[in-house]
Amino acid sequence: MSDFVGMTALEMLRGYRAKSFSPVEVAQELLSQIERLNRHVNAFCLIDCETSLAYARESERRYMSGAVKGMLDGVPVAIKDVFYTPMWPTVFGSQTIDPETTLGCTAPSIAALQRHGYTPIGKTTTPEFGWKAVTDNAIDGITRNPWDRDKTSGGSSGGAAVSVSLGLSPLALGVDGGGSIRIPASFCGVVGFKPSFGQIPHWPLGAFSSLAQVGPLASTVQDCALLMNVISEPDHRDIRAIPRREIDFLAVTGEGEFDGIKELRIAYSPSLGYVEPDPIVERRVSDSVMLFQEMGADVVEVAPSIDDSSAVFGCLFSAGIGSTLRGMDSARRQLVEPQLLEVAEQADRISLTGYLDVLKRRDNFVERLQDFFLRYDLLVTPTLPITAFAAGLNMPDKAPGSLWYSWTPYTYPFNLSGHPAISLNCGFSSSGLPIGLQIVGRKYVDEMVLCAAAALQSRQGLKLVLPDWVNFV
């Protein structure tokens, strides 16, 4: 196995600067590994070696001439197939999209990556329009969990999480509208960060424009912070984006020494007051939370006085899907996943007054959460109440509801509220499946979430380890 597989972005940058190896060598090796492994997991829906290597050669020339470009020159980044890339089509996992109509368009995050010299390593698989918390679609098939290929990767950024988990790319770009970064990060054992709403410019605004946020996936919190420095650059096309905050997210994560943790008041809630997590999930998360206490933080177990917000989220989610599909003719609608059509039909039954009432209930929910964060700096929960379930299913056995968000109760509330939230691995189940821990912070204090997550990851000492099967295929 090559030294480049599983190498972090920061390690690559140090090697490039020292001329120990080149962006071309890295890209060639990762593309070779993608070719070897992708058929087993379906992380990538588009692989274009010629284009990726052309970017890598340009980067190599810049390093040779001393004209390094930005913060990510030569670092491979995997791109979820919901971001417009000028050289590659973007079809959102849907047969309803004409690929040719998307060429030449550039999303804000892709424009920022271009300014910083990245190497695009491929596009990653997503469910149709990113609508659910597992990853499969009629074009590409099922994306599988690298720790057990009979299990789901989670979604909707499932391909992105798998690419990082298998060391096929040090960085990946995702979008999180209800947990779509954090859910697959938890199931696949990597780090996934949903920044505060508006922190990262995104365009065009999709079905979940009032809920969704662009964010990074990586094997380390520091690599996530590095990518945050790049994609948080301003772009006028996102009318919801907040003014850029001049914060070096990488600098605040430090090098393993985090004295600021001693000053934090951390609320730990294994249930949020209404969730029953699997006992092994609760045990692993609880053990990790105690590491914060060992580092000097004031950790208090609480049940936040916030209501179950699933009905509010469900209404906004259905309305977004309905809006996306409403303009499709009957021929295209026949190509859409049947359950997605059912969700869109639910939106047709939402009255205007009912929708306005939901917006008011959302405001009340956010207000109560804001009050909670006046008393605590951070909230820690499991990322999910379960480990990964069978691939090819939208729902686990005995799910409490009929739609995906019924089994992801810890993630979507913070899309409703816009608070920053990160998932990182805190151990494994007895069957070897990853378990995620979620840290939520005050709105627009993303750096505190990253700092705390980096401190915890450093104290845990957990490194990216590749599953055994990759050595035998």
Helices assigned H by DSSP within 260-411: 279-294, 310-325, 330-333, 338-347, 352-375
Give the C-alpha separation, 353 to 315, whole Å. 12
Give yes or no for a contact between 145 and 164, defined as CB atoms under 8 angstroms apart.
no
CB crowding 84-117: b at 16 or more within 10 Å, else e: bbeebbbbbbbebbeeeebeeebbbbbbbbbebb
Token pair listed for 357: 């009432």
180 classed as catalytic = yes
CB under 8 Å to 4, separation ≥6 — which residues?
12, 21, 25, 26, 29, 30
- Cα angle value 396/156/339 (rounded, 5°): 60
User: Out of 157, 169, 180, 219, which one is annotated catalytic?
Assistant: 180
309 classed as catalytic = no
User: Out of 22, 94, 109, 156, which one is annotated catalytic?
Assistant: 156
Q: Which amino acid is at 329?
A: D
CA nearest to 377, candidates 443, 311, 313, 434 = 443
Report CA-CA distances (Å) from 374 to 176, 369, 378: 25, 9, 10
Give yes or no for a contact between 467 and 146, defined as CB atoms under 8 angstroms apart.
yes
CB crowding 247-257: b at 16 or more within 10 Å, else e: bebbebbbeee
Is residue 149 classed as helix, strand or coil in its secondary structure?
strand
Give the C-alpha separation, 112 to 115, whole Å. 5
Give yes or no for a contact between 219 and 193, defined as CB atoms under 8 angstroms apart.
no
Is residue 285 classed as helix, strand or coil in its secondary structure?
helix
CA nearest to 75, candidates 200, 230, 255, 252 = 230
Phi, psi dihedral angles at 304 (to 5 degrees): -55, 140
123 classed as catalytic = no
Give yes or no for a contact between 397 and 159, defined as CB atoms under 8 angstroms apart.
no
User: Out of 80, 123, 132, 194, which one is annotated catalytic?
Assistant: 80
Report CA-CA distances (Å) from 79 to 82, 107, 228: 8, 11, 15
CA nearest to 69, candidates 123, 23, 107, 20 = 23
Give yes or no for a contact between 59 and 27, defined as CB atoms under 8 angstroms apart.
no
The residues assigned a catalytic role are 80, 156, 180
